[in-house]
Amino acid sequence: MTIIHNLGFPRIGADRELKRAQEAYWAGKNSLDGLLATGQALRARHWAIQAEAGAHWVPVGDFAWYDHILEWTTLLGAVPARFGQADDAPVELDTLFRMARGRAPSGTPAAACEMTKWFDTNYHYIVPELHPDQTYRIARESLFEQVAEAQALGHRARPVIPGPLTWLWLGKGDAYAGGADDAAKLELLPGLLAVYEQVLQRLAAQGVEWVQIDEPILVLDLPPAWREALAGVYARLAEQGLKVLLATYFGSVEHHLDEIRRLPVQGLHVDLVRAPGQQAAVLAALRDDQVLSLGVIDGRNVWRADLDRVHEQVRAAAQRLGGRLWLAPSCSLLHAPIDLGLETALDNELRSWLSFAVQKLDELRLLRGLVDDEADEADQRALAAARQAVRSRAASSRIHRRDVAERLAASGAVRRERTPFGERIAAQQARLGLPRYPTTTIGSFPQTPEIRALRRDWRTGALGDAAYEKAIRQEIERVVRFQEEIGLDVLVHGEPERNDMVEYFGELLAGFAFTAHGWVQSYGSRCVKPPLIYGDVARLAPMTVAWSSYAQSLTDRPVKGMLTGPVTILQWSFVRDDQPREQTCRQIALALRDEVQDLEQAGVTVIQIDEPAFREGLPLRRGDWAAYLDWAVDSFRLSTSGVRDDTQIHTHMCYSEFNDIIEAIAEMDADVITIETSRSNMELLGAFEAFSYPNDIGPGVYDIHSPNVPREDWMVDLMRRAAQRLPAERLWVNPDCGLKTRGWPETRAALQSMVQAARALREAA
């Protein structure tokens, strides 16, 4: 029988038990024993699910407190000095938590380690801190304990560990200023490998047969030093008495096959969902003594597979490899929601198109039946249902809308150019009459418990439409009056009607659906529930016009219309896989274009289209950037280019590093871009300066992540620095990001002082 297996299962629990247990523990409301018991129960449940689905091994080590990279960092004893870890003592769980979040029920608080995105997913890992003189040792026993735990439950345990090269690549340190690929990091390998060897030997002594070593960096562009390091590393790791499955995912490894084929590993896993084209080359590179694991069920998305198509896809490999072919999801199922069975509120048709982690394992089992030609009667029925679902999804009129298809087909002819910026900005200035250093905010105002309760009561029906509308209008009026009172120049309505900047629009657009339990881990105990874009996207009715024009009716000052951009909506959703992402993005862009024009018609003179996820969308390999940036920029322009010269388009992005995408940012051609810069002391403006960025820019003058009230002189100073880099007449004064997580007292004080700072700048000019 063909072997089926899994690279990792979501750890949070179908009911987000892990989140609750951890948060309760941090808050002192759960004991350590209680916490550990929750972890153990979740592991047992998840192993049972996988074993019952027919997985030959169960992964061990995919469970993690907070983050699996942090787990591995602490197992290696790589604890930064500020956490006071003794060299010879085990690393306590509270130390791991302090590294993640700065504090824990025991131990002295210290600055938390940095966190960043895991490849191109929305999962975030804790960045290992690397030091040239770091000594490594086995400093935590949890992996070995969990192997024993799985074995005691009768499972074949297959440990999953991060590969040494990937772990180093992800790490940072003062001595490695060159960045991820700094070759000096490779000098840490000898010390690191000694501990890897010990780990593998101990696992072998526990009776483990296979270990899965994850090296997702093999899908990236690697400098020669890193490629060359592979052989030495795996020569050692593959000789420790157990078999090594080298796992790669999120892209193709074709560009590294010359190195990979020489590694003495016993098996290789590749992602055929993201990179189906690599199969032939990988097969050709495989040695006769090696196993090939093909990742054919999408671990990153929620759609049911077309099993006949996948069967066709792996047929040649199955014929050639026989028992040396394994089948698996493309990557760890960490990135998928857990169980579609919980989604009782979705209609049957839509549900039939979906597959979450539990269902994906079952798909794998059915696929094995096809490959081995051994499907029993129950499997045949399940296969028939799967085929029916695939047919219905291909043909459903809920997915394919003629109006959208025709509009998209014709959209190439839609003009994306606006009048040159110089002319536009003059027209805008004549209409808006703003002072120098105009002040504005990014959109949201504090989301108080009262506002949250309003939306909740309206959703449950406890509050009627009229009462809800009245209450939201009152909040908008309060926010508008406040902004007038403190003297802001371009106002906002405050976004009280929005729970989330993507969900709000998804709920009003055709083609979106929402799950009740489709949570995935974002970081630590934080989970997100992305919308599903299952069909053609269309705007059914204006989405923001009533709130925005009401806000505008209250004041003579301009109130910004506030929309979420097409790339951000795409990036923070599960996107349909039956057409290219760029096509879905352009559909969203066209829907937003109509909204932009309706706002303009309604008398809104300034419209902001937020794109905080613009950079996140960048492909993993540099060579693929241009194509992405092309359609991402085009989508933004498609949304925004339909307006008059004197309608001002803003955008907002809140992350660092513009250097390598500044050209694309300029091509977006927003009249004003507001960005996060306060924490970098305006250093981020360097990219805009070097490029001579021509349009207006609002470098955030204070960090909204902190409740501290910024000082006026500090903000004046920051703006002076900005004015050294860019023409003063192009500068705006605003916070780093939206204020929804802040309270009113600090918001009031901070904005008052920001307005004072702008006045001081004007007077000095």
Residue ranges that bind ligand GLN, judged by CB under 6 A: 442-444, 495, 501, 562, 610, 612, 652, 654, 737-738, 740
Site for Zn ion contains 501 (CB under 5 A): no
The annotation status of 107 as a binding-site residue, yes or no, is no
The annotation status of 19 as a binding-site residue, yes or no, is yes
The annotation status of 47 as a binding-site residue, yes or no, is no
Q: How far, in Å, CA of 637 to CA of 623, rounded?
A: 23
CB nearer ligand GLN, residue 16 or residue 705: 705
Per-residue tokens: 746:
């600090």
CB nearer Zn ion, residue 226 or residue 523: 523
How many residues sit in the footprint of Zn ion (CB under 5 A)? 3
**From the list Zn ion, ligand GLN, none, partner contacted by residue 444 (C-beta under 5 to 8 A by kind):** ligand GLN
The annotation status of 616 as a binding-site residue, yes or no, is yes
Per-residue tokens: 242:
């157990």
Smallest gap from Cβ 614 to Zn ion, in A, equals 11
Smallest gap from Cβ 255 to Zn ion, in A, equals 35
Of 584-613, binders to Zn ion (CB under 5 A) are 612
Site for Zn ion contains 737 (CB under 5 A): yes
Using CB under 5 A as the criterion, what x/- string covers residues 92-121 for binding Zn ion? ------------------------------
CB-CB neighbours of 466 under 10 Å: 8
The annotation status of 406 as a binding-site residue, yes or no, is no
Q: How far, in Å, CA of 654 to CA of 555, rounded?
A: 28
Cβ neighbors of 714 (< 8 A, separation 6 or more) are none
Q: Own/partner pairs for 271-277, CB < 8 Å, 24+ apart? A: 271/219, 271/295, 271/330, 271/331, 272/296, 272/313, 272/314, 272/330, 273/297, 273/298, 273/299, 273/300, 273/330, 274/249, 274/250, 274/300, 274/330, 275/219, 275/251, 276/313, 277/252
The annotation status of 259 as a binding-site residue, yes or no, is no
H/E run at residue 627: helix 625-640
User: What is the DSSP code string of 543-560?
Assistant: SSHHHHHHHHHT-SS-BE
Smallest gap from Cβ 177 to ligand GLN, in A, equals 29
The annotation status of 417 as a binding-site residue, yes or no, is no
Per-residue tokens: 614:
């613009």
Question: Whose CB is nearest to ligand GLN?
Answer: 738
CB nearer Zn ion, residue 612 or residue 699: 612
**From the list ligand GLN, Zn ion, none, partner contacted by residue 443 (C-beta under 5 to 8 A by kind):** ligand GLN
Site for Zn ion contains 463 (CB under 5 A): no
**From the list Zn ion, ligand GLN, none, partner contacted by residue 305 (C-beta under 5 to 8 A by kind):** none
Interior CA angle at 444 toward 441 and 446, to 5°?
110
Among 126, 588, 654, 715, binds Zn ion (CB under 5 A): 654
Q: Which amino acid appears at position 644 of this protein?
A: R
CB nearer ligand GLN, residue 172 or residue 740: 740
The annotation status of 610 as a binding-site residue, yes or no, is yes
CA distances from 573 to 163, 343, 362, 503, 533 (A): 30, 17, 24, 9, 7
Cβ neighbors of 485 (< 8 A, separation 6 or more) are none
**From the list Zn ion, ligand GLN, none, partner contacted by residue 562 (C-beta under 5 to 8 A by kind):** ligand GLN
Site for Zn ion contains 51 (CB under 5 A): no
Answer whether 591's CB lies under 8 Å from 538's CB. yes
**From the list Zn ion, ligand GLN, none, partner contacted by residue 640 (C-beta under 5 to 8 A by kind):** none
Q: Which amino acid appears at position 366 of this protein?
A: L
CB nearer ligand GLN, residue 321 or residue 559: 559
CB nearer Zn ion, residue 286 or residue 722: 722
Helix (H, G, I), strand (E, B) or coil at 418: coil
The annotation status of 676 as a binding-site residue, yes or no, is yes
**From the list ligand GLN, Zn ion, none, partner contacted by residue 740 (C-beta under 5 to 8 A by kind):** ligand GLN
How, if at all, do strands 574-575 and 532-539 pair? parallel
Catalytic residue among 56, 131, 400, 705: 705
**CA-wise closest residue to 313 among 331, 289, 330:** 330
The annotation status of 255 as a binding-site residue, yes or no, is no
Smallest gap from Cβ 302 to ligand GLN, in A, equals 23
The annotation status of 517 as a binding-site residue, yes or no, is no
Answer whether 169's CB lies under 8 Å from 186's CB. no
Smallest gap from Cβ 272 to ligand GLN, in A, equals 34
Site for Zn ion contains 684 (CB under 5 A): no
**From the list Zn ion, ligand GLN, none, partner contacted by residue 696 (C-beta under 5 to 8 A by kind):** none
User: What is the DSSP code string of 136-150?
Assistant: ------HHHHHHHHH
CA torsion through residues 285, 291, 295, 297, sign: positive
Helix (H, G, I), strand (E, B) or coil at 86: coil
Return the axis-axis angle of helices 465-486 and 449-460, rounded to nearest 10°.
160
Is 335 one of the annotated active-site residues of the chain? no
Site for Zn ion contains 208 (CB under 5 A): no
**From the list ligand GLN, Zn ion, none, partner contacted by residue 695 (C-beta under 5 to 8 A by kind):** none
CB nearer Zn ion, residue 390 or residue 722: 722
Residue 139, judged by CB atoms within 10 A of its CB (0-12, 13-18, 19+), counts as buried
Helix (H, G, I), strand (E, B) or coil at 209: coil
CB nearer Zn ion, residue 77 or residue 735: 735
CA distances from 649 to 111, 549, 579 (A): 39, 16, 30
**For binding to Zn ion (CB under 5 A), which residues are involved?**
612, 654, 737
- Which residue ranges make up the annotated binding site? 16-19, 117, 442-444, 495, 526-527, 572, 610, 616, 652, 654, 676, 737
Annotated binding-site residues for Zn(2+) read 652, 654, 676, 737
| Active-site annotation, residues | 705
Annotated binding site for L-methionine: 442-444, 495, 610
